Amino acid sequence: MKQGTTGIKPFVGSILGARSFAVITLVLFLLIIGTAFFLVYQNANIMRNQINGDFNQQQLILARQAAYQIQANLDDIKTGVLSLRRLAAGSPVSSLREAMKVVFSQHQNKGLIDIGYIGKDGRSYEVYNARNTLATREGQAGRLSGTGSAGSLVFGPLQSTESSGGSVTITGTFFTDGVPNSSSAVRLFATIDVSRLVQTVTSRIRSGRTGYAWVIDETGMFLYHPEQDFIGRDAFSVRKERKPYITFAEINRIMKERMLNGEEGTGIYISGWHRGVHEGELTKLIAYTPVKSSLLGQGHMWSVAVVAPIAEVAQAVHSMYVRHFVAEAALIAGLFFFGFIVITYQQRISASLKEQVSEQERYLSNVLQNSVDAIIFIDTENKIQTWNKGAELIFEYTADEMINQSFHRIIPPELDAETEIRDIEQQVLANGYVKDYRAPRITKTGRRITVDISRTLVRSKDGKIIGSTAIIKDVTDKIELEQKIYNTEKLASIGTLAAGVAHEINNPLSIILGFADLLKERYRDEAQTYGDLGIIEQHARSAKKTVENLLGFARITEGLEETIDVAFCVNTVVTIVRNTLMTKKINIVMHLPEHLPRVRGDGREFQQVIFNLINNSVAAMQGGDGILTISASLENGWVSVHVADTGAGIPDKIKPRVFDPFFTTKKVGEGTGLGLSLCYGIMKKYGGKISFSSISKEDRPDQPCGTTFTVSLPVVRESPPDSTAKENSL
């Protein structure tokens, strides 16, 4: 053993003392340094690619949101024009003109330039435009009618117009088909400022610090670009004109092979322009998605792109390289400090990259959180994980109240929440999305609304389903407007029918009453026969009264138009019904201001309106101990009378039918269903209005219930005394 030990020590000493040991050590040291450099470089590249990919995905979400908003604006304008078409089918031209003004004012800020219709002769037309004028023109309708496809409801060819100031406006026109049963309007049309429509949405988009958005159509023409000279120009040529020394091969390939084919995706390309920076080549990140709308038609499409310089994202990576070289220089000072420096520096780099990613996430989060539409992320268990401010605004629940909760609390109780949620989930899993799913919902305060739901499946990079995103819009006001237009058409049709039926029935009733009167004279001495004839006459007069009510609803009776004292009429009716109210234990509260101005109308018919409203309120407070409040007010040239009760209220499901003739909730024999329809006809005859608001015990059991009807008539403007008459009187 001693000899072996003695032999090993000289061998080790010879190795340590050789020059080769220094060489080997240096080689190992350089190998370690090189390996470290390679690993750091590879890690930086991986993180840089990851950041670029994540940034592009955020840009893609911005592009999708802009495309959805453009599509929603187009669909809103289309809905407005279609509602005009339905109105034109059964209403006079004056009603169509008023409706055109309403639709134009609602959609002017979305790029609507004008709206109108072309006459049957194909030449004359009327158009309502931004100058708030309704003009009838001759000879130009032929030009307009050639720019769209009849009955297709799609854009005709887009037209580019350059103003004297050099700005370019791109417009498009679409037409409806012929309006049936119309005496004047054959085709409705609407002209949209396409450049303004897309600019309103895309000009506010900011990706990173200086990123922006642009939009092209299927021909490659810029519909919007921050560089105003680009708008209306061909994207393939205008870039080359600006920077002939740049090929633009990659962006041209992306536009031609992907964007113009309606595809969605991301990419990287070389450009020579970015928000005033015109020198040299510039690498950019791009995300793009198509705009899908039925108005664009077959073979036509728009594509929204969001771009940003890759230098903004790569700046952190570049600084990382600089710090790495400094770190490697420090490593040469000693191998023992190498591991410590690398670990410390790696932690700093990771923190820096995480901070940049967090900054981009915060930016995207701000965009999503501040959207006026509800943007919600739902996991695979149908639990809500994201609840933005738009959702709080629509449903009134805070994010803390809804995170990790299901949609059960916002689904009305009469619906099966489990079935509703399961059906939507199955459609999303089957198709990948659900579009324009309209459903009733209930807010935190119990208010019922109608929403449009678009829900899209979300997958991870490996294709695994991780949840879905839902974009929800409150369309309650839109549906109410459509319902009002529908009710106007329906009441007009029913009024015409009622007038015809009333006239046909009135003549036989007059004959029956006449002969009944003759027979009563003949059988005056026969008590039984005379009594039977009296019953016939009584029921015939009752039928005649119903006919008169029908004529009143149809606006056939002219009335004795004059000026009336509203307070006097209300007090007269209250005097008549006061004893009835006391018998039924109903308290009446009056708030009638003094010196109310006179209004246009017939006193007898106005008293009938107030009497019918009081009777309805009394019927609604059958249990007694109710409070009937009658008040009046003067505002903006209108005198309004409010009749409010504390009854059971009108359920939401029958509110659209309260003014329908013969519709009643009373028992058989207790009401004809003509009271409110007659009131509606009387108020409309004198240019007045009638409306109501109601909270029913059935819909909101936790709130005080009751109904308030409001009737309004315009104040009569007294003309100044004639100076000639004064002189003659003197």
For residue range 24-33, what is the model confidence (pLDDT) as tens digits?
766 776 777 6
**Phi and psi at residue 479, to the nearest 5°:** -70, -40
Q: Which of 459-473, 691-705, 707-721 has the lowest mean pLDDT?
A: 707-721
Identify which has the larger pLDDT, 167 or 265. Answer: 265
Contacts of 220 (CB under 8 A, 6+ apart): 234, 235, 236, 255, 256, 260
Angle (deg, nearest 10), helices 19-90 and 93-107? 160
Q: Strands, E, within 536-601: which ranges?
A: 562-564, 587-591, 599-601
Q: Which of 18-27, 232-241, 362-371 has the lowest mean pLDDT?
A: 18-27
The mean per-residue pLDDT over the stretch 13-21 comes to 54
Q: Each residue of 139-151: pLDDT tens digit?
A: 444 445 444 444 4
The mean per-residue pLDDT over the stretch 246-254 comes to 88
Identify which has the larger pLDDT, 637 or 664. Answer: 637
Q: Each residue of 257-311: pLDDT tens digit?
A: 999 998 999 999 888 766 655 556 788 899 999 998 888 877 788 999 999 888 7
Does 537 have pLDDT greater than 70?
Answer: yes
Question: Chain-wide mean pLDDT for the chain?
Answer: 78
Q: Each residue of 567-592: pLDDT tens digit?
A: 988 988 888 788 788 888 888 898 98
The C-alpha atoms of residue 401 and residue 245 are separated, in whole angstroms, by 58
Q: Each residue of 33-80: pLDDT tens digit?
A: 677 667 666 666 777 778 888 888 998 999 999 999 999 988 888 888
Q: What angle do CA 378, 381, 383 make, to 5 degrees?
A: 45
Identify which has the larger pLDDT, 375 or 678. Answer: 375
% residues pLDDT > 70 (the chain): 74
Q: Which amino acid is at 199?
A: Q
Residue 128 near residue 114, CB atoms below 8 Å? yes
Identify the band that residue 556 occupies on the pLDDT scale cut at 50, 70 and 90: very low
Mark 149-171 as b/e (b = at least 16 C-beta within 10 Å). eeebbbbbebebeeeeeeebbbb
Q: Each residue of 304-349: pLDDT tens digit?
A: 999 988 877 766 555 655 565 566 556 655 655 666 676 677 677 8
* pLDDT the model gives residue 294: 81
Q: Would you kindly state where each structural domain of the chain is located, as residue ranges?
A: 32-369, 375-474, 495-552, 562-714
* pLDDT the model gives residue 254: 92
* pLDDT the model gives residue 664: 64
Among 3.40.50.620, 3.40.640.10, 3.30.450.20, 3.30.300.30, name the CATH number for the domain at 375-474.
3.30.450.20
Half-sphere exposure of 469 (CA within 13 A, CB side): 11
For 670, other C-beta atoms within 10 Å of its C-beta total 9
Angle (deg, nearest 10), helices 19-90 and 338-369? 0
The mean per-residue pLDDT over the stretch 659-668 comes to 61
Q: Which amino acid is at 668?
A: V
* pLDDT the model gives residue 1: 43
Angle (deg, nearest 10), helices 476-522 and 19-90? 20
3-class DSSP state for residue 133?
A: coil
* pLDDT the model gives residue 439: 86
**CATH code, residues 32-369:** 3.30.450.20
Domain 562-714 sits in CATH 3.30.565.10? yes
Q: Are strands 627-635 and 587-591 parallel, antiparallel or unpaired?
A: parallel
Q: What angle do CA 395, 396, 402 make, to 5 degrees?
A: 75
Does 631 have pLDDT greater than 90?
Answer: yes
Identify which has the larger pLDDT, 724 or 41. Answer: 41
* pLDDT the model gives residue 644: 92
Identify which has the larger pLDDT, 552 or 110. Answer: 110
Backbone dihedral region of 636: left (phi > 0), alpha (psi from -120 to 50 degrees) or beta?
left
Q: Each residue of 374-431: pLDDT tens digit?
A: 888 888 888 888 888 888 888 889 888 888 988 888 888 888 888 888 888 888 888 8
Contacts of 162 (CB under 8 A, 6+ apart): 168, 169, 232
* pLDDT the model gives residue 727: 36
* pLDDT the model gives residue 143: 45
Does 560 have pLDDT greater than 70?
Answer: no
Does 554 have pLDDT greater than 90?
Answer: no
Does 499 have pLDDT greater than 70?
Answer: no
**Phi and psi at residue 309, to the nearest 5°:** -65, 135
The mean per-residue pLDDT over the stretch 705-717 comes to 89
Asked if the domains 375-474 and 562-714 are classified in one and the same CATH topology, the answer is no
Identify the band that residue 640 occupies on the pLDDT scale cut at 50, 70 and 90: very high
The mean per-residue pLDDT over the stretch 613-620 comes to 86
* pLDDT the model gives residue 669: 44
